[in-house]
Amino acid sequence: MIIQSKTMNKKYSVSIIVAFFVLLQSCNNSNKSQTPIQKEQVSIKEEKKSEAVGRNLETRKTIADFIPVGYKIFQEIKGDLNKDGVEDRVIIIKGTNKENIIRDEYRGELDRNRRGIIVLFKENGNYIQAVKNYDCFSSENEDGGVYFAPELDVSIEKGKLYVHYGHGRYGYWTYTFRSKNNDFELIGYDSSDNFGPRIDSETSINYLTKKKVTKTNTNQEGEGGDEVFEEKTEKIKVNKLVQLSKIKDFDELEST
């Protein structure tokens, strides 16, 4: 009986060991069967969960739950900002203080309440607040002097957030942000200084590589399309990347 009991214990131990190795092999095969895209998506989800826990981010069911008192939704932009295949949201908000509604002699009633931005990641049917900055944009009714004021346009493309200002015949400038370090960091700046159809200069800055490229038109007699550019590349000093949540006023944000 003692011999039989020892034999049964050995068989039982062997069975446990075999089962363990089968389970381990199954897990390995499961990981190997994942495509690179699937592995990246899993990694992104884990990173998002880690950030949410680390920052104690607000998670709510609806977009309206994130709009602070005294503000309203001005614009909603959809797009994937963290490469998880899910449409996130960028909400441009606007103040509703009646004291900032003025009457202009020529333009009539103007709402001069400032605008802000809220970035929301979408996950499992909920929204997670990634960034908020309630007053970083001027109103859409500013005085442009002899010309109209620059027009703000916010968009999402290839996982990046773009803050673009168009100024008609005078050109444009664009700020490029990406999600990083629990915020959205400024990684690029592009501008075009125009005189009507003629481009006088173009500037492109990459804050990650710390490189600035300037193209200057040497054909000032041209009328557009016949520019002759002289290109200059230089290194710039970048101590720390600017974060979207920390920008007080885009009108005063310096590119370098």
Question: Distance between CA 64 and CA 118 in Å, rounded?
Answer: 11
Residue range 126-181, pLDDT digits in tens: 999 999 999 999 999 999 888 889 999 999 999 999 999 999 999 999 999 999 99
Residue 161: other Cβ atoms inside 10 A = 24
- Predicted confidence at residue 224, as pLDDT, reads 85
Residues 61, 44: Cα–Cα separation, whole Å: 21
What integer is the mean pLDDT of 105-121? 95
Tell me: pLDDT of 46 over 70. no
Exposed, middle or buried by CB within 10 Å (0-12, 13-18, 19+), for 59?
middle
pLDDT recorded at residue 127: 97
The residue written with tokens 């131990």 in the block is 13
DSSP 141: T
For residues 242 and 238, what is the distance between their CA atoms, to the nearest angstrom?
A: 9
Find the helix or strand (DSSP H, E) in which 9 lies: helix 2-33
What pLDDT, on a 0 to 100 scale, did the predictor assign at position 33? Answer: 53
Residue 213: its pLDDT value, please?
A: 98
- Give dist(CA 50, CA 102) in Å, integer: 46
Pairing between β-strand 101-104 and β-strand 108-111 as defined by DSSP bridges:
antiparallel
98 or 29: which leads in pLDDT: 98
- List pLDDT tens digits, range 67-76: 999 999 999 9
Predicted pLDDT at 24: 47
CA gap 148, 133 in Å, rounded: 25
Give the residue-averaged pLDDT of 26-52: 48
Q: Given pLDDT bands bounded at 50, 70 and 90, which one contains residue 35?
A: low
Report how far residue 20's alpha carbon sits from residue 4's, in angstroms, rounded to the nearest whole number: 25
Quickly state the pLDDT bin for 12 (edges 50, 70, 90).
very low
Q: What share of the chain in percent tops pLDDT 70?
A: 78
| Residue ranges per structural domain of the chain | 36-135, 145-256
Cα-flanking dihedrals φ and ψ of residue 57, to 5°? -65, 150
| Predicted local distance difference test score (pLDDT) of residue 220 | 87
Confidence of residue 25 (pLDDT cuts 50, 70, 90): low
**Average pLDDT rounded to a whole number, residues 177-199:** 96
Cβ(135)–Cβ(244) below 8 Å: no
